[in-house]
């Protein structure tokens, strides 16, 4: 049977471990939230590119009408014209492609 002192020490130790674990999970959660915020910002920039650049040449198709692979082919095909290159850079096309593939 444990003495009261040993029991008290064990409780204090377990509370300490709980605090350490809670502190670690908060740090991980904050890091994940920061990553998600950055991803959201990138998605918004890419979405704005899609909405502002692609509409210069044609109506915007519904995003869910095509698969990721189809979007890759579509963007590569449509950007491979002199007219499209006047309106959109390769970097912008890649951002749009990534955005559409992630949807």
> Confidence class of residue 46 from pLDDT cuts 50, 70 and 90?
confident
Burial (Cβ within 10 Å: 0-12, 13-18, ≥19) of residue 93: buried
The pLDDT assigned to 32 comes to: 61
Res. 39: pLDDT tops 70 = no
Tell me what the pLDDT averaged over the chain comes to. Answer: 81
Report domain extents, the chain: 4-102
How many residues are given for the chain? 103
Residue 2, helix vs strand vs coil:
coil
């Amino acid at each position: 049977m444990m003495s009261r002192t040993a029991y008290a020490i064990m409780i204090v130790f377990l509370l300490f471990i709980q605090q350490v674990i809670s502190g670690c999970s908060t740090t991980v959660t904050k890091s994940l939230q920061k990553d998600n915020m950055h991803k959201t910002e990138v998605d918004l920039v890419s979405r704005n590119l899609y909405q502002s650049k692609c509409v210069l040449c044609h109506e915007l198709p519904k995003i869910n009408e095509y698969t990721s692979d189809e979007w890759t082919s579509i963007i590569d095909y449509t950007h491979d014209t002199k007219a499209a290159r006047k309106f959109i850079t390769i970097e912008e096309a890649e951002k749009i492609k990534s955005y559409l593939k992630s949807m």
